Copies of this chain bind each other. A is one copy, B any other.
Amino acid sequence: MSKIDYTRVLPCLVTVANLLFGFLAIIFIIDSQVNLGAGMVLLSVLMDSMDGKIARKLKANSDFGKELDSLSDIVSFGLAPAVMIYVVVYQTHLPFWGLWLSAFFAICGALRLARFNVLNVSDYFIGVPITFAGGFMALLLLFAQTIPWQVFPVMMLLLSVLMISSLQVPKLGK
C-alpha cells in the first residue's frame, strides 16, 4: 500500500461533494422539494469551480481527479437537471417529447464531457460547458412558477445542441 497523499485527496473530496449534491438533487426532486433540488445542483456548480482551482494551487492535478470530475459532472449537470425538469415541468406539460428531450440533454452532456477529455484543449472550451448548461437549467427551475413552461424545452434543446457544437467558448475566471 502506498502512503496517502493528502494534497491529492483534498481536491478529490471536493469533486466527490459535487457528485453527492447531484445525487441529493435527484432525491429531493423525488421528494417533491424542487427548490432544494435546484439548490443542490447550484452547490455542485460551486464545488466544480473549486476542485480544479484547489488542485492547481496544491499542484495536485491528476488524471484520476480529471476522470472523477467528469463522472461527477455527468450526474450533477447532465442527469440531475434532466430528471428534475422532466418531473417538475414535462411530466405535466409535455410528457412524451419532454422525456426524450431530457434524455437528449443528458446524452449531449456525456458526449461533451467525453470529447473534452479526449481533445485536451486548454485555452478555450469547445461547445458550451455542461456545468453552465446544467447550472442554468437548475437556476431556471427556481423560477418555474413565474416563467412560462415553454421556456424549459426551448432552453434545454438550445443548450443540448450548444454543448455538442464546435462553438469556441472563452474560459472565464482561470
Contacts and interface: CB of A to CB of B under 8 A. Distances in A.
Interface of A: 16, 19-20, 23-24, 26-27, 30, 62-65, 67-68, 70-72, 74-75, 78-79, 82-83, 86-87, 99, 102-103, 106-107, 110-111, 113-115, 117-118
A83 B27 contact: yes
B70 A71 contact: yes
A160 B113 CA distance: 25
Contact of A67 (B16, B75, B117): B117
A81 to B, nearest CB: 12
Interface centre among A65, A82, A106 (most CB of B within 10 A): A106
Contact of A110 (B72, B86, B103): B72
Given A64-B115, A79-B79, 10 more contacts: A20-B103, A24-B103, A26-B83, A27-B86, A68-B111, A70-B70, A71-B110, A72-B110, A75-B78, A75-B79
Number of copies: 2
The 8 closest A-B pairs by CB, nearest first: A67-B114, A68-B114, A71-B110, A71-B74, A67-B117, A64-B118, A63-B118, A23-B103
A62 to B, nearest CB: 8
B102 A23 contact: yes
Contacts of A70: 67, 70-71
A115 B27 CA distance: 27
A63 to B, nearest CB: 5
